[in-house]
Structure 1
């Protein structure tokens, strides 16, 4: 009879237990491992964040009631993680804010890990946050990573009577193929006025920028000009604040600060028109 406590037997048993334990760890904790920095696999807690944030927003009453809507606008979080944490602390002290709009370039290199790191800061906001895709979010496998983490590249939602139309305007990242931004989709969104008193377009690259597809500039601007309910055009990309009317339309174009500027824009919109703009340092 073999001695079960002999050294060879113990080694065989320990080897079997170790292999089983290793397999169990791999099966139950595979989301803890990253096999490539460019992978697009995304843990469940970081998937479909646009849908999750929209559900949270639409379940909340408007903090300012029926007369007006207040939201924070900022852009280009990229590698500015310390600034993101300070941003959250500042926004959480502002009264009446319904949500945060982030105008693209969530990441710098289009990596899931970067988007996760930003979300790990922004999830501490007392309000939901919504994003659009920026040109840096397209780098390498970034487009797929952004869709996994956040969701659709073009989407819209209505809150407190205001429709927010969020779209991909990063034409250079598609080789100026004449399809981005999707002007037909934009026109359809602007034409749908059901339950809406005003509209806001949110994108990353503004139409006057060299990274916007030049063959789509005229039809894009025409679509904006033909939308009587359009109140604001918001974009990021330039990292600094500015307000202008580059095409002499009826709508102001507002560039937001990047996170590294340690300032953001807070907009309060009346239900029947008009807005008040504050720039807030943090």
Structure 2
């Protein structure tokens, strides 16, 4: 019986290893789509830091306006069909100055969700800004938000009204962070003070909800009283369209419904006050 020499065995082993390497390369190439993007990758192509650009446009276009008509939407999550219908309905109106999304752009904070939602929101005919919601924190979602939209707390001024947009998702930090950020609120009381006379606060989770740091809910109410002429507050999160007098002191909080319920709210701000309407689409 003929036996293999050591040279033959070594040669065959090298051929086997080479074959396996080539097969692995082919497999990885064929499965490129599978391994190309991690679901929580934070490297994005296309538009980033959207809010900064949108704010610049809003402030430039509406600096001297006597009235503002704003559409508030929220909690679009993964309801892409209804979100598209919501955007279409807003575009058909031709009377909206800008749109505010009150958070929960995604359901689980993944890259694909952020990208799909961004693509839909980009079809708006008017500028929009977006806040971060608690679902947007999942995984590396908060990092994605900062890449795509910017700071978690931000403000802008239009028609001499300051819109103060706050991150109130305290439980996403296990209450270990300054959320809501009182230092930021204090800064905004006087920042650009000569440019605004009235204030509107926008947040995702309202006081006394499961996401808010309710240990400071009373302090929050006292703190925001220092803002010049606080008109009202707007929030999302609870998936219902309501008007709440949360602190029983006359300050109204407008709850914005989710896109799945096919409802959003329009608030028109004028020199003499404001009015609001609930829109079913």
Q: TM-score range by the shorter chain?
A: 0.7 to 0.9
Runs (5+) with no aligned partner, structure 1? 1-25
Q: In the comparison of the two structures, how many residue pairs are matched?
A: 250
1:99-126 deviation digits (Å, cap 9, x = unpaired): 1000000111111221111111111111
- Corresponding position of 1:210: 210
Q: Which has the larger radius of gyration?
A: 2
Q: Normalising by the residue count of structure 2, what TM-score does the alignment of the two structures yield?
A: 0.83
CA change 1:61–1:226 in 2 (3 A) is closer
**SS across alignment from 1:239:** coil
Whole-Å Cα distance in 2 between the matches of residues 242 and 125 of structure 1?
Answer: 25
- Paired residues for 1:1-282 under 5 Å: 34-43=36-45, 45-61=46-62, 66-177=65-176, 179-192=178-191, 193-271=193-271, 273-282=272-281
Residue 280 of structure 1, CA deviation: 1.0
RMSD of Structure 2 on Structure 1 (CA): 2.2
Please tell me whether the aligned partners of residues 178 and 215 of structure 1 are also in contact (alpha carbons under 8 angstroms): no
**SS across alignment from 2:61:** coil
Whole-Å Cα distance in 1 between the matches of residues 246 and 87 of structure 2?
Answer: 32
CA change 1:157–1:61 in 2 (3 A) is closer
Whole-Å Cα distance in 2 between the matches of residues 110 and 46 of structure 1?
Answer: 18
Residue 93 of structure 1, CA deviation: 1.7
Please tell me whether the aligned partners of residues 73 and 100 of structure 2 are also in contact (alpha carbons under 8 angstroms): yes
- Corresponding position of 1:9: none
Whole-Å Cα distance in 2 between the matches of residues 226 and 60 of structure 1?
Answer: 28
**SS across alignment from 1:194:** helix
Please tell me whether the aligned partners of residues 235 and 256 of structure 1 are also in contact (alpha carbons under 8 angstroms): yes
1:257-281 deviation digits (Å, cap 9, x = unpaired): 111111110000112x421111111
Residue 210 of structure 1, CA deviation: 2.4
Please tell me whether the aligned partners of residues 57 and 127 of structure 1 are also in contact (alpha carbons under 8 angstroms): no
Residue 96 of structure 1, CA deviation: 2.6
Runs (5+) with no aligned partner, structure 2? 1-28
Q: Normalising by the residue count of structure 1, what TM-score does the alignment of the two structures yield?
A: 0.83
Whole-Å Cα distance in 2 between the matches of residues 58 and 196 of structure 1?
Answer: 12
Whole-Å Cα distance in 2 between the matches of residues 128 and 239 of structure 1?
Answer: 24
Whole-Å Cα distance in 2 between the matches of residues 218 and 48 of structure 1?
Answer: 33
Residue 34 of structure 1, CA deviation: 3.9
Whole-Å Cα distance in 2 between the matches of residues 207 and 61 of structure 1?
Answer: 30
Moved over 4 A (4+): none
More helix by share: 2
Please tell me whether the aligned partners of residues 65 and 158 of structure 2 are also in contact (alpha carbons under 8 angstroms): no
Whole-Å Cα distance in 2 between the matches of residues 144 and 57 of structure 1?
Answer: 25
